[in-house]
Structure formats: C-alpha cells, structure tokens
Structure 1
C-alpha cells in the first residue's frame, strides 16, 4: 500500500515538474500569430486609440496584483518611447474582461501586437524578452 502511494507521488511530482519547465520555457517568447487560424482583428478599437500613422500597437493585458505586469509595462513603455511609431496601451483585465475574452487571454501579463490595420501579428505570454520582441516588430 505504501509503495503504491509513493509511486503516485513520484509520478505526480514528475508531471508537475515537466509542466513547470514547459511553461517556463514558453514564458516571454514571441509567437507569430497565424492569420488563418487564431488572429484577432480590431486591436486599435479594443485599445480605444487611433492608429494615427503608427505601425504597431503593443496591447498589454494586466491584472492589478501582477508583479510581472509592472516589468512588462516598463519594458513596453520604453520601447514605445524610443520609437514614436509604436503605441503601448495597458488594459486591466479586471475592468475590461471582454477584451481578455475576445483575445483568448488566460494569463497576465499577455502582450498582443497589432499592425497598423488592427490585425494581430504577434503574441507574448509573460514578460517579453526585449531583444526578441524588438526584432519581431514590423519595421515598415
């Protein structure tokens, strides 16, 4: 009886460790959105801003008690400040749950990047890797 319980415990710990390692490896990675499958349109409207000649919108979905959200806001704010054709908008999912639902966001922070037409082109769950995100952003 004790051996069976020990085996269950070891299997549960192994699965939990594997899941944690997979999530950690994916956190902050820039994923290109597949236009025919999971892209969302209307990003500028969701953010409540006009494109006004900008080439990309960095839409950040955050929660009030989310510490990584603050780091993400700083990083995205710095990117937008350094490049005037980028816009950064942070949305509190507690106040605008309909945006999180429309985008299929399950964790915060999540950054969804929209092009000048308002179509989703990139997505990052977790704190973005600054160099990877900057490289993936549209240039023209």
Structure 2
C-alpha cells in the first residue's frame, strides 16, 4: 500500500525517513519551548527570533550532512530530493502506523495479522515521541519543498 502516493522503489532502500510537515513540527516545538521555559507569554515571533531555539532546514541539512552554520542553496536542496527519490523508503509522521507497516513489509519483517506482539510493538512506537527534532523556524523553506514533494 503506498504511503503518501509513493510506491515501493525499484532499488533497495538504504535510508528510512519519516517526514513531518515542517510547519507542524515548528508549531509543536514552539509550544513545547513555551512549556519547558515556563514562558507562556513567548510569542511565535520571539521563538523564531531566538538563535538558541532556531534551526535552519534540519531535515535537508541532515540528509546532506551539513551543519546549521553551513550555507544551503537550491542546488543542494535538489541533491537532497534526488537522494530521497533514489535511496529512501519514505514514511509520514502523520501516518506513522502505515509507515511502520510499509517499512516492515519492505524488509519482510511483517508476519501478518494475528500476532499480538506486532501490535504491541507498534503501540510502543506510536506512544514514543519523535526524536532528533529540536527546533524548526520559518527559514525551513527547503524542508517544506522536500516535504511537499514527498507527500504530493
């Protein structure tokens, strides 16, 4: 079953990706920063302007292996998209249950229905929080382009 309109690739997957809408991710991190800091008066503008909280296209940068301080341009973003198209098995954060099944089926790890251990494993994964994303801000244009191409 395709997730987000993408079929299984012709080449073996070398990279498993669970993509999340960058705007949703940024809003989630903003809300969490307000709670953790105890500053419920923090505005979205305050959050985005704070260099200690902001990131710059973290998804694209992780794919390319470049740091937050390295320059990032359209050509590099195109390389990241080509990498995803050629080497990645892509899942979606908003459809993580379907994505996990897709990964399991691709790897022939899915034993089929009727195994309570499989359901329990899925529930544990769904209850855990996504790691690796700390802060995203409005400079994530390349991440947004890649996400929209993945799910579009």
Per the normalisation by structure 1, the TM-score is 0.27
Higher strand share: 1
Larger of the two Rg values belongs to structure: 1
Structure 1 or 2: more helix by fraction: 2
Higher relative contact order (CA 8 A, sep 6+): 2
